[in-house]
Structure 1
Amino acid sequence: MNRNFWIIALISFINSLSFTILIPVLYLYGRQFHLDDFQTSLLFAIYSISQFFATPVIGKFSDRFGRKPLLILSLGGTVLANLLAGTATTAWVLFLARFLDGITGGNAAVAQAVISDVSTPQNRARAFGINGAAFGLGFILGPVVSLLAQKFARYTPLGESFGASFLVSGAIAAIALFLTIFYLPETLQTKAKKAENIFDIGLGNLIDGLFMPKIGILLAINFLTGMTFTLFTFAFQPYFLTILKQNSDALTLMFVTFGTLAVFMQTWGLTRLTRRFPLVQILFLGLFVRSLSFVLMPIWENLFYFVAVCLLFSLFNSIVQPTISALISLNAKPEEQGTVLGLNSSYLSVSNAFGPVIAGLVVNQNNPQSYGYPLYLAGICTFLVLIFAFLKRKSYAVKR
C-alpha cells in the first residue's frame, strides 16, 4: 500500500467518524422535533433518496474531471449540511439539511474510486477491507464523540439538544476537507472521454448499470442487502431502548462494540479469509450469519442474549460490504471505477431509504413488541438474498 492509499484511508476514517457521530442521535433528534416513528423514518429516507440520484453523477464526474475536485465538493456539502442541521429550530430545516447532505454525499464512492486507482487487482479486496476498517474505527469513536458532545452541550445554550452532535460532525468533516485540499493528489490516470451530450450527467447509468455484464447482478445484490440491513438499523435503537429498557449510554457502548469487532474482522479476519476462500464464498458466509442473527435477536427479550447475538452478527456482517465492493471493482474496467463504484453507493443509498420506511410502517409505538417485527423480516429477506446470490454466482465470480 502506497502513501496515497494511506492518505485516502485517513480521509475515509475522518469522514466515517463524521458520519457515525450521527448514528446514535438521528432517531432521537427526530423525536426531539416531535416526529413519530414513520416521520422519523422519512428523515432517514430523504437523505438516502437524494444520495441515490447524486452519487452516480458524482461518480461519473470523478471519472471525467478527477477524484479530488468531486471529493472536495462532496465533503463541503457535508460540512454545510451538518452545520445547518445542528442549528435547526424547525423540522423542515432538519429535512432540508438531510437532503443537502444526501445530494452532495458521494464522498464514500469517490474515496472507493481513489482506492481502486492506487491499489492492484491482487490487493484490491484487502484495500477495501482496510477502508471498511477505517469506517469501523469511526464506528468505535463516533458514538463516543457523540455522547461527549451531548454532555458538553448541556453547559452551552444548546442545552439538551441533540444538535450538538451535528455541529461536531460538521467540524470533523471540515478536517477531511482540509486534508483533501492540501494533501491528497489527483489519482485518476486515465480520464473518461468527454460526453457528446452535455446533459449526460450519469443518471442514465442508474438503469444501464443493472444491465452491465457482471456488474448489474452485484448492484442488485448490494441493493437487496442494504435494504435488509437498514430494516435492522432503524429497529435496533427503539428495540434496545424500549424493549430491553436500556439508556443512551448503553446504546453508545453497543455501537462502540460493533465498531471494534468490525475493525478486527475487516483487517485481520478478511485478510486471512481472502487467502483461503474465493470472495463469493466469503460473501455467502457473511449473508448467512447476518440472516441467522436477525431472526435470533428478538426471540428472547433478554439483554445478555441480545448482546451475544449482536456480537456474532457484528463479526460477520462487517465482511459483506467490502466483499461486494471488491467484486464490483474487480469486474469493472479501470476507466469505469468511479462510475461503477458510484452506482454501487447509489443503489446502497436508495436501499437505505426503503429499509427505514418499511420498518416505520411495520412498528407501532402503542405496541412496543412490534419493534421486533422488522428484525424477523430482515432475517427472512436476507436469507432470500443469499439464495439469489448463490444461484447467480457464476455471473459475477472472479478467479483467485
Structure 2
Amino acid sequence: MKARLPFIFIIITMMLNSIGIGLILPVMPSLITELTGGSISSAALWGGVLATTYAVMQFFMGPTLGNLSDRYGRRPILLISLVAMGLDYILLSLAGTIWWLFAGRVIAGITGATFSTASAYIADISAPEKRAANFGLIGAAFGVGFIIGPAIGGFLGEIGPRVPFMAAAVVALGNATLGYFVLPETLPQSKRRTFDWTRANPLGALMSIRKIPNLTGLVVVFLIFTISHQVYPSVWSYYTIERFDFTPKMIGASLGAFGFFMAIIQGGVIRMIIPKLGEMRTAMWGMGLNFVVFILVAFLGEVWMLFALMPLMTLGAIAGPALQGIMSKLVDDDAQGELQGIFASVTGIALILSPITMTSIFKYFTDSDAPYYLPGAPFLASSLLEISAMALLFVIAKRIWGTAATPAQ
C-alpha cells in the first residue's frame, strides 16, 4: 500500500484540482456582479475574459511547468504549485475589485497548469505497458472531481459567493500538506536535463501539422468542434441565471448532473458506439446530434427540458474521440506522441477562443439594447459551427477516401 501512495496522491491531486475549479463555477456570476455592480449580461462578458485569461496561462505555462519538472524534479513543482494555488484561492476570496479577481485568475492559470507534470510523474512510476491505463485514470479522476465540485460549490454558494473559494483553498493546501509527507521524487539527478525555453513552446506541436498528409483539414474540424462544444462551460452559469433564474445551488446541481452524464458517455457509451459505427460515422452522427441539440437548448422554455436534454448534450461529445481516432489512423506509430501534442495545442486554443466568443454573443443578445432578446444565442452560434465542421469533414472524407463512410466505416 505504501508503494502505491504516490500514485494515489497524484490521482487525488487531479481530482481535487478539478473539484477546486468546479467549486467556484456556480458563484462566479454572483461574485462578478458584486464586484462590478453590473448586470448578469455584463458579468458574462467579464466571465469570458477571466476564463480566456485562465486558458491562456494554462496554454503557455503547461509546457513550461512540465519542462521545469524535467530540470528540478516532479515533487517540488507539484508541491509549489499546490501551495500557490491554495494561496491564490485565498486571494480570490478576498477580491475587492474585478482587477483583483483578474490577477487571481492569472495566478490560477499558472499554478493550475500541472497536468503535464502529473502525467510525467505517472510515467515515471508506471511500467510502459500500464502507462496508457494510468493516464486514463487521471482523466477519470478529473471527471469525478468535476461532478463533485460544482455540487459542493453550489451548496456553499448559498452561504456567500466567497465561501467556495475558501473551501477550494483548504482543499489545495490540505493536498499540498499530504503530498509533503507521501510524495517522493521520481526523477533522479542523472536523468534531469537543462531547462530549454525552445522545448517549452506550446505552439511547437502545431508546426508539425504540415508534415503529416491530409491532417490539416481534420485538425481544423477538430478545432471548430471543440470551440463549439465549449459553449457549455463558457455560458452555462450565466445562461441558466438569465433564462431560468437559477441560484448557485441550482447551477451546481445542473453542472454536477451534466458531469455525471458526461462520465457515463466517456467511460462506457463511447466504447460501445465507435466499434459499431466506426470513427467517421460516429463523428458525423455526433456533430449532427450537437447541431440539433444546440438549437433546442437555445429555445428552451422550462427547467425540466434542460435536464431532460442532458443525456443528448453529453452524447454529442462522442464526436471528439471519433475525430481523434480518424486522425490517429493517418499517422505512423512513431508519430502518435506528436499527434497527441497537436490535440493538446488545438484544445488549448479552443479553450482560449470559446469563452470570450460565446460570452460576447450572450452579452449582445441579453443587453438592455439588444436588437433581439435571446439568452440562448451562443447555442445557435455553436449549432452553426457544428454544421460547418460536419460539412468540412464530409468534403475532406470524400477527397481522401472517396467516401464519407471511412475509415472504419
Q: 2:32 maps to which residue?
A: 30
Larger radius of gyration: 2
Cα 1:347/1:105, change in 2 over 3 Å = farther
Of residues 57-66 and 133-142 in structure 1, the stretch that sits farther from structure 2 once superposed is: 57-66
Q: What are the residue-to-residue correspondences of 1:110-129 with 2, within 5 Å?
A: 110-115=117-122, 118=126, 124=132, 127=134, 129=136
Superposed CA deviations along residues 317-344 of structure 1, whole A, max 9, x for unmatched, are 3x5667778999997989996x976765
In 1, are the aligned partners of 2:206 and 2:345 still within 8 Å (CA)? no
Displacement of 1:176: 3.5
In 2, are the aligned partners of 1:144 and 1:256 still within 8 Å (CA)? yes
- Counterpart code for 1:24: P
Displacement of 1:89: 1.1
- Counterpart code for 1:370: L
Of residues 240-249 and 58-67 in structure 1, the stretch that sits farther from structure 2 once superposed is: 58-67
Of residues 320-329 and 27-36 in structure 1, the stretch that sits farther from structure 2 once superposed is: 320-329
Superposed CA deviations along residues 281-329 of structure 1, whole A, max 9, x for unmatched, are 6555544433432222123423222322223212443x56677789999
Q: 2:257 maps to which residue?
A: 257
Q: Does 1:170 align with 2:169?
A: yes
How many residues are matched?
385
Displacement of 1:202: 2.6
Q: 2:354 maps to which residue?
A: 355
Report the 3-state secondary structure (helix = DSSP H, G, I; strand = E; otherwise coil) of the residue aligned with 1:54.
helix
Q: 1:377 maps to which residue?
A: 381
In 2, are the aligned partners of 1:7 and 1:184 still within 8 Å (CA)? yes
- Cα distance in structure 2, aligned partners of 1:186 and 1:381: 45
Report the 3-state secondary structure (helix = DSSP H, G, I; strand = E; otherwise coil) of the residue aligned with 1:369.
coil
Report the 3-state secondary structure (helix = DSSP H, G, I; strand = E; otherwise coil) of the residue aligned with 2:83.
helix
- Counterpart code for 1:134: A
- Cα distance in structure 2, aligned partners of 1:32 and 1:172: 25
Cα 1:128/1:264, change in 2 over 3 Å = farther
In 2, are the aligned partners of 1:15 and 1:176 still within 8 Å (CA)? no
- Counterpart code for 2:64: V
- Cα distance in structure 1, aligned partners of 2:328 and 2:184: 21
Superposed CA deviations along residues 76-133 of structure 1, whole A, max 9, x for unmatched, are 3322221211111111111000011112331233334445663756883x55554333
Cα 1:277/1:6, change in 2 over 3 Å = farther
- Cα distance in structure 1, aligned partners of 2:116 and 2:360: 30
Q: Does 1:141 align with 2:140?
A: no
Superposed CA deviations along residues 344-376 of structure 1, whole A, max 9, x for unmatched, are 545434422322222232233224833211101
- Cα distance in structure 2, aligned partners of 1:287 and 1:127: 29
Cα 1:309/1:119, change in 2 over 3 Å = farther
In 1, are the aligned partners of 2:82 and 2:175 still within 8 Å (CA)? yes
Of residues 220-229 and 92-101 in structure 1, the stretch that sits farther from structure 2 once superposed is: 220-229
Superposed CA deviations along residues 133-187 of structure 1, whole A, max 9, x for unmatched, are 3222212211222133234xx4xxxxx3x12211211221223334444434556
Q: What are the residue-to-residue correspondences of 1:277-356 with 2, within 5 Å?
A: 286-317=286-317, 319=318, 344-345=343-344, 347-356=346-355
Superposed CA deviations along residues 31-71 of structure 1, whole A, max 9, x for unmatched, are 22125232332122221222222122223444555544433
Q: What are the residue-to-residue correspondences of 1:50-61 with 2, within 5 Å?
A: 50-61=57-68
Unpaired runs of 5+ residues, structure 1, are 155-159
Q: Which has the higher contact order (CA 8 A, sep 6+)?
A: 1
- Cα distance in structure 2, aligned partners of 1:75 and 1:8: 12
- Cα distance in structure 2, aligned partners of 1:69 and 1:327: 38
Q: Does 1:90 align with 2:70?
A: no
In 1, are the aligned partners of 2:67 and 2:199 still within 8 Å (CA)? no
- Cα distance in structure 1, aligned partners of 2:147 and 2:140: 10
Displacement of 1:381: 0.9
Q: 2:268 maps to which residue?
A: 268
In 2, are the aligned partners of 1:288 and 1:383 still within 8 Å (CA)? yes
Cα 1:343/1:31, change in 2 over 3 Å = farther
Unpaired runs of 5+ residues, structure 2, are none
Of residues 214-223 and 9-18 in structure 1, the stretch that sits farther from structure 2 once superposed is: 214-223
Displacement of 1:16: 0.9
Cα 1:314/1:206, change in 2 over 3 Å = same
Displacement of 1:218: 7.5
Q: 2:46 maps to which residue?
A: 39
Cα 1:264/1:342, change in 2 over 3 Å = same
What RMSD over aligned residues (CA atoms) do the two structures have, in Å? 4.1
- Cα distance in structure 2, aligned partners of 1:128 and 1:392: 31
Cα 1:200/1:235, change in 2 over 3 Å = closer
- Cα distance in structure 2, aligned partners of 1:76 and 1:321: 34
Of residues 353-362 and 209-218 in structure 1, the stretch that sits farther from structure 2 once superposed is: 209-218
Q: 1:157 maps to which residue?
A: none
- Cα distance in structure 1, aligned partners of 2:192 and 2:279: 28
Q: 2:17 maps to which residue?
A: 15
Query: Normalising by the residue count of structure 2, what TM-score does the alignment of the two structures yield?
Result: 0.76
Displacement of 1:259: 1.9
- Cα distance in structure 2, aligned partners of 1:212 and 1:113: 26
- Cα distance in structure 2, aligned partners of 1:203 and 1:290: 29
Cα 1:291/1:63, change in 2 over 3 Å = farther
- Cα distance in structure 2, aligned partners of 1:374 and 1:272: 31
Of residues 82-91 and 226-235 in structure 1, the stretch that sits farther from structure 2 once superposed is: 226-235
Cα 1:150/1:24, change in 2 over 3 Å = closer
Query: Normalising by the residue count of structure 1, what TM-score does the alignment of the two structures yield?
Result: 0.77
Displacement of 1:390: 6.2
Cα 1:296/1:128, change in 2 over 3 Å = farther
Q: Does 1:100 align with 2:107?
A: yes
